[in-house]
């Protein structure tokens, strides 16, 4: 593992400034198709990559129940429901034990008040996740229509080619306002459906006779805000795939191979990352190459570059994270250029696992010989 060192004075940043608007202002753009006019498979294809992103985001917001506690609750309420009360009996205990503990177990020496508290938390988690999933599925057509409107406005301005950061930044305010409108509109019915089962167990008012109010502190904190945050985060993470889908491509690009030109343009890579190659700087040794990775000041999550030979064998690796914003390593130029090699750009994915995302073949990049290659990772 290469030791992080102070990077040299950075080259000028690529311009990423974009004009932000909350609503599209183009007057000549053709109207985006209504949800009912979309291709039959467009929404399912969108949900294929949106739902995992949204549920992953929601998982960071919703408190988790330890498997041991879930199993103990399942055993306590499932095996000894009569001791707690006929209302909260075997069925609920076993369901909760199965969902949150893997399986119900024999009665455990667990305090009844603690068990009640953990059961309430488990039900809250299940209900919140159900609301998030339901609203995500129902608002997908509106999100697609908003992106189609952004693309139509772009065409009306005479812009062509790949969708760049400016397009996504310009349409982001409009898109988030659509998401917020949809969440508020769909929340009452989704909350009603998610909390319906509990009413019959505890003997409360029939929820079919009462519609929850969104302008309510508890409902906002328990359901509306987690759903809104999860949806905005999930959509942001899949934005490049979403624009590709709307533009008519039949496949979601997940090409790990990138070119030097990809790193010189202001361009989102397939997993929503922006990595800029700065101007090459000469070294004091013409037979070496120095690789520098810099993390943007506002970023903290781990990023790295692994150097590999032409067979994919490990040469070196550097990483940046938290307060360590730069790292560098020098290697013999022939290790990467004769006959070639790879720079693998990595980042922390699920559970913090360092995962290779993009692979830059260095064969033919003779301009790197005797130079410092400085990469600036400023968005993901």
Alpha carbon 33 to chain centroid, angstroms:
27
Range scoring the smallest mean pLDDT among 37-51, 291-305, 360-374: 37-51
Say yes or no to pLDDT of 13 above 70: no
CB 235 within 8 A of CB 147: no
If one counts every other C-beta atom within 10 angstroms of the C-beta of residue 362, the result is 24
The yes-or-no verdict on residue 310 having pLDDT over 70 is yes
If one compares 214 and 331, the residue with the highest pLDDT of the two is 331
* Helix (H) / strand (E) containing 226: helix 225-237
Q: How confident is the model at residue 298 (pLDDT cuts 50, 70, 90)?
A: very high
For the residues 238-252, what does the mean pLDDT come to? 73
Residue 19 has φ and ψ, to the nearest 5°, of -75, 125
DSSP code for 65: P
Average pLDDT over residues 241-249: 79
Residue 207, classed as helix, strand or coil, is helix
Is the model's pLDDT at 195 over the cut of 50?
Answer: yes
Q: b or e along 229-262 (b: 16 or more beta carbons within 10 Å of the residue's beta carbon)? A: bbbbbbbbbbbbbbbbbbeeeeebeeeeebebee
Nearest-Å Rg of the Cα atoms of the chain is 26
What pLDDT is recorded for position 75?
46
The structure tokens listed for 303 are 């990023």
Task: Say if residues 104 and 78 touch (Cβ distance below 8 Å).
Answer: yes
CATH class in words for 257-379: mainly beta
**Pairing, β 288-295 against β 371-379:** parallel
Q: Is 191 helix (H, G, I), strand (E, B) or coil?
A: helix
For the chain, the structural domain boundaries read 35-246, 257-379
DSSP assigned state of 223: I
CA 305 to CA 194: how far, in whole Å? 44
Of 30-34, 73-77, 142-146, 346-350, give the range with the top mean pLDDT. 142-146
Q: Report pLDDT for 205.
A: 52
Is pLDDT above 60 for 255? no
How far, in whole angstroms, is CA 372 from its chain's centroid?
32
Percent share of the chain, pLDDT over 70: 68
Assess whether pLDDT exceeds 70 at residue 283: yes
Hey, what are 380's tokens? 């993901």
pLDDT-derived band at 94 (thresholds 50, 70, 90) equals very low
DSSP state of 138: H
Q: What does 67-107 look like in DSSP terms, one character per residue?
A: HHHHHHHHHHHHHSHHHH-SSS-HHHHHHHHHHHHSS--S-
Most confident region among 17-26, 113-122, 237-246 by mean pLDDT: 237-246
Residue 182 has pLDDT above 70, yes or no: yes
pLDDT the model gives residue 229: 93
Tell me the average pLDDT across 181-185: 95
């Amino acid at each position: 593992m290469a030791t992080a060192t102070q990077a040299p004075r950075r080259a000028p940043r690529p311009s990423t400034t974009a004009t932000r608007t909350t609503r599209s202002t183009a007057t000549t753009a053709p109207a985006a198709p209504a949800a009912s006019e979309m291709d039959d498979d467009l929404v399912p294809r969108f949900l294929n990559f949106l739902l995992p992103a949204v549920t992953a985001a929601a998982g960071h917001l919703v408190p988790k129940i330890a498997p041991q506690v879930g199993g103990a609750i399942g055993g306590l309420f499932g095996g000894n429901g009569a001791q707690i009360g006929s209302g909260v009996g075997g069925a609920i205990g076993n369901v909760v034990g199965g969902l949150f503990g893997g399986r119900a177990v024999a009665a455990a020496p667990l305090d009844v008040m603690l068990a009640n508290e953990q059961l309430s938390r488990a039900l809250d988690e299940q209900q919140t996740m159900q609301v998030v999933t339901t609203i995500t599925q129902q608002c997908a057509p509106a999100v697609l229509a908003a992106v189609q409107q952004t693309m139509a406005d772009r065409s009306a301005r005479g812009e062509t080619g790949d969708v760049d950061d400016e397009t996504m930044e310009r349409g982001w305010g409009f898109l988030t306002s659509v998401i917020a409108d949809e969440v508020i509109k769909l929340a009452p019915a989704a909350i009603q459906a998610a909390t319906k089962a509990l009413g019959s167990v505890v003997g409360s008012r029939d929820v079919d006779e009462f519609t929850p109010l969104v302008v309510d502190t508890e409902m906002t904190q328990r359901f509306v805000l987690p759903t809104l945050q999860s949806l905005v985060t999930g959509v942001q993470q899949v934005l490049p795939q979403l624009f590709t889908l709307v533009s008519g491509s039949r496949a979601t690009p997940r090409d790990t191979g990138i070119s030097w030109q990809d790193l010189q343009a202001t361009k989102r890579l397939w997993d929503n990352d922006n990595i800029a190659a700065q101007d090459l700087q000469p070294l004091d040794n013409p037979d070496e190459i120095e690789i520098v990775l810099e993390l943007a000041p506002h970023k903290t999550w781990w990023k790295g570059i692994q150097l590999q030979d032409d067979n994919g064998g490990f040469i070196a690796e550097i990483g940046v994270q938290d307060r360590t914003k730069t790292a560098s390593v020098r290697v013999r130029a022939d290790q990467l250029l004769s006959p070639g090699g790879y720079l693998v750009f990595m980042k922390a994915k699920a559970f913090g696992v360092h995962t290779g995302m993009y692979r830059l073949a260095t064969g033919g990049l003779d301009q790197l010989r005797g130079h410092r290659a400085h990469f600036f990772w400023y968005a993901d």
